[in-house]
Amino acid sequence: MADTVTANARPSAPIPNRYLEGAYAPVAEEVTLTDLVVTGTLPPELDGRYLRNGPNPLGPVDPATYHWFTGDAMVHGLRLRDGRAEWYRNRWVRSTNVSEALGEPPAPGERHGGMETANTNVIDLGGRTMAIVEAGARPVELSDTLDTLCHTDLGGSLPHGYTAHPKVDPATGLLHAVGYYWARPNVLEYAVIEPSSGRVVHRVDVPVPGNPMVHDCSITEGHLVLYDLPVTFNLDVAASGASFPYVWDDAYGARVGVMPLGGQPEEVRWFEVEPCYVFHPMSAEERRREDGTLEIVLNVVRHPSMFHTDPHGPNEGAPTLCRWTLRLGADGQPLGPVAESQLDDRPVEFPRVDERRVGRTVRYGLANVLAVGDGSPGAGGDIGWGDSGLVRYDLERGEALEIPLGPDRAPGEAVFVPRSVDAAEDDGWYLMLVSNRTDGTSSLDVLSAADPAGGPVAQVQLPVRVPLGFHGNWVPLR
């Protein structure tokens, strides 16, 4: 069974923007599908919703100025229960422009600074489903079936916008996040949310020398890690009419900051690194030495530069998994330079770990292996963010296992779901949406974490295409 809501018709002429074509191309309908076909056997332990967010422009956009990060938000979801796939839904997150285009009244809730396209991640916050994004927009609360409920300032506790990548401390459940907004230069906003109340319980501004784009952060058992890197807001680019005004800045420098969880701005300690950009760290941990010094070990996906030559999306050379080791003395002051090393030469992105191990020692990390072509406008060859397979890193043993997914299949980010609350890191499943380039269909692939290269143990077949997007999560039945 299927119910659909169709957006405005699109022009049939070819569009010269890679993020509007092929596996990235937006879909024009909201769909509700039931009676979904499952190949293989869905584990009965998978009782919940798989959710994924990403850009999906509603109606025509200008290919010359469209940037992948600015498209209207669309959340995709599947409800799994008792070995069945009960439904698939995709819904535009109702910004004012989306509501207007669909002939609907605006969704309730105060917006912040004209920013409201929450197209990057979708999380569970104390039993509430939130679509989130960086750069100034507030969270958008969704129903369990992905309809937009409201734009929210979290009960008045969130004065500005939020971020796409909060980190949940496994010990406390608190969400730690670093946000930014172009109209608040020279500060990064560190906010801590208590999930049961859904309110910000700690918030401070951390001074920085410019107006950087900060996509993600890290936490360890006792510290927050900030990434202050050379992609910054550019007023001239914004005035030119470009939809995305953040570009590479050779003069800005690159550094990583460390501060105590729940700490104050004056407690930040900064370490310089070689110029680069990091969208996504894979893992972070701290190690206290017998002499009282502290090591903070960061495994990050490092891009050599970003938004330097390509105005449409991230395409500036192959990103690789690297390790940064930072040392703090017993007095809390930095000790020496950052030790930097490359762990692998594969081009990868969208790293994930077992969410129960965030900020702790992690054995396994998963990432998408990217395709790198020739003749791109980018500096290092055309980067295909969903164009290859997966790789699982055994960080304990220093090994890597490639996981092929078959030709003409474009996988999104994979999420680990443990079999039980106390299961090992390889006792559960990897879930990801995969688009088929040849026939316009998709599937939710379920891989055994014990044998991820052995092929899917189950696939939920979707007779619709899910465009390549960004991030999502598994939300167990509550």
| Per-residue pLDDT tens digits for 431-478 | 999 999 889 999 999 999 999 999 999 999 999 999 999 999 999 986
The pLDDT of 236-254, averaged and rounded, is 94
**Which residue(s) pair with 108 in the sheet?**
none
CA 244 – CA 306 distance, rounded (Å): 13
What are the strands of the beta sheet with 140-142, ordered from one edge? 121-125, 128-132, 140-142, 148-151
Q: What is the pLDDT of residue 406?
A: 85
- Number of Cβ within a 10 Å radius of residue 209: 12
Residue 227 confidence (pLDDT) above 50 = yes
Report which of 223, 209, 289 is spatially closest to residue 254, judged by C-alpha positions.
209
CA 369 – CA 142 distance, rounded (Å): 31
- Number of Cβ within a 10 Å radius of residue 341: 8
Please indicate whether residue 196 or residue 13 has the higher confidence score (pLDDT). Answer: 196
Report CA 250 to chain centroid distance, whole Å.
25
Answer whether 202's CB lies under 8 Å from 192's CB: yes
Residue 365 confidence (pLDDT) above 60 = yes
The pLDDT of 275-285, averaged and rounded, is 98
CA 367 – CA 254 distance, rounded (Å): 24
CA 366 – CA 362 distance, rounded (Å): 11
| Residue 68 one-letter amino acid | W
User: Please, which pLDDT band fits residue 414 given cuts at 50, 70 and 90?
Assistant: very high
Residue 7 confidence (pLDDT) above 80 = no
Q: Is the pTM of this model over 0.75?
A: yes
For residue 247, report the phi and psi dihedrals to the nearest 5 degrees. Answer: -140, 165
The pLDDT of 374-402, averaged and rounded, is 72
CA distances (Å), origin 115, targets 97, 176, 188, 245: 11, 21, 17, 14
CA 416 – CA 432 distance, rounded (Å): 9
Each residue of 66-125: pLDDT tens digit?
A: 999 999 999 999 999 999 999 999 999 999 999 999 999 999 999 999 999 999 999 999
List of residues 6+ apart from 22 with CB closer than 8 A = 437
Radius of gyration of the chain (CA): 21
List of residues 6+ apart from 424 with CB closer than 8 A = none
Report which of 411, 161, 367 is spatially closest to residue 279, judged by C-alpha positions.
367
Average pLDDT along the chain: 93
CA 227 – CA 271 distance, rounded (Å): 10
Q: Is 392 helix (H, G, I), strand (E, B) or coil?
A: strand
User: Please, which pLDDT band fits residue 386 given cuts at 50, 70 and 90?
Assistant: low
For 15, the token pair is: 């569009």
Residue 368 confidence (pLDDT) above 80 = yes
Residue 280 confidence (pLDDT) above 50 = yes
User: Please, which pLDDT band fits residue 408 given cuts at 50, 70 and 90?
Assistant: confident
The pLDDT of 215-223, averaged and rounded, is 98
Tell me the DSSP string of 160-223. S---S--EE-TTT--EEEEE--TTSTTEEEEEEEETTTTEEEEEEEEE-SS-B-----EE-SSE
Q: What is the pLDDT of residue 382?
A: 63
Each residue of 308-353: pLDDT tens digit?
A: 988 889 989 899 999 999 999 999 999 999 999 999 999 999 999 9
CA 452 – CA 455 distance, rounded (Å): 7
Task: Write down the H helix ranges in 62-173.
Answer: 96-101
CA 177 – CA 192 distance, rounded (Å): 6
For residue 413, report the phi and psi dihedrals to the nearest 5 degrees. Answer: -60, 140
